[in-house]
Structures are given as structure tokens and as C-alpha cells.
Amino acid sequence: MRAIQATLIGAAIASALVLTAQADAPEVIAARILQAQDEQGLLATWGNWHPDATHRIILKYGMGQKDDVFSYPVAEITNAKDPQLAKALEGYRETARSAPQITVGPKDEVQRVTALTHVDYDWRGYAGKMRQTDEFVFETYLGELVVLSLTSTYDYR
């Protein structure tokens, strides 16, 4: 009789823990994604993305140059190898990066997280500053909060 009682008590405690366990907050998920420094780090965040998630990138140059804007489905990133992008970024390196300033809030009844990061860089001998803004939009999918879209703006103006 004691084994059955212990099993029932254990099952009740486990059920209570599952019900009270908090899913990661949107700002925690966003910070985890922003901290990913390589392909392995990004793959570790895969469960935090909606299967139909998109990533939109905006490059702002200033000086009258038109912004570059492109987007892609996040699910295709593991197959993405863009030799033109790699060539365009030759000689570019970050020399300093601030910790992201993260703000959270619903906007239009959608959960959003915005992260602002300041970056110092050197590009073929030119030292400059860039402001990176990442806006995450979250949605509930299969009972979990996941990233539906990410818009990254790299402002070199």
C-alpha cells in the first residue's frame, strides 16, 4: 500500500511542478538568440522559433544611399551559404559591442521585444559606429511562446 501511495504522491508533485513551471519569458528568449555567436549557438535556440518564422534585415547606410532590405525564412538558414555576402563583408570586424538594452511590451496586441545594441567596427581601415536594433515578434505555438519574426536593422548612419 505504501508503494502505491508514494507513486500517487510523486505523480501529484510532478503534475504540480509541470503546471507551475514558467516558460521562458520573451526577453529571455530574445537574449538567448542574441547571445548565439556561431552556428552551434543558433542551433541551440531552434526550439524558440516558429516553423514559419522570418528574419528581415535592413541595412541603413546614409549619405543618400538607398537602404538594403531582404528577408528569408529562418528554416532555410542552415542551408544558406551566400558567397556574395561573405565577399562583401571581407575586412569587416567588430571592435566593441555593448550589451543589448532590451525593452518588452505588447504592441497591437502582439508580444514584442526590442533590443538595441551599439557596435564599434573597423572595415578595411575605416573605424565607425553602428546601431543595431532587433525587434522580435512572438506568438504562441503548440503551447509555447516562440519567435514568429525578427527584424534586424543595422544603422550605419
Q: What is the CATH number of the domain that holds 45?
A: 3.10.450.50
Looking at 34-38, 78-82, 90-94, 148-152, which range is the least confident one? 78-82
Q: Residue 81: which pLDDT band, with cuts at 50, 70 and 90?
A: low
The sign of the torsion formed by the CA atoms of 107, 111, 117, 123 equals negative
Domain that holds residue 127: 24-155
Above 70 in pLDDT, residue 99?
yes
* pLDDT for the residue numbered 78: 56
The answer as to whether 14 is a domain residue is no
The answer as to whether 145 is a domain residue is yes
Q: Summarize pLDDT for 107-122 with one digit per residue, the tens.
A: 667 899 999 999 999 9
CA gap 43, 55 in Å, rounded: 15
Stretch (H or E) spanning 28: helix 26-35
Better-scored residue on pLDDT, 8 or 152: 152
Give the chain's domain count: 1
101-124 per-residue burial string, b: 16 or more CB within 10 A, e: under 16: ebeeeeeeeebbbbbebebebeee
The answer as to whether 5 is a domain residue is no
* pLDDT for the residue numbered 6: 41
The answer as to whether 18 is a domain residue is no
Q: Residue 32: which pLDDT band, with cuts at 50, 70 and 90?
A: very high
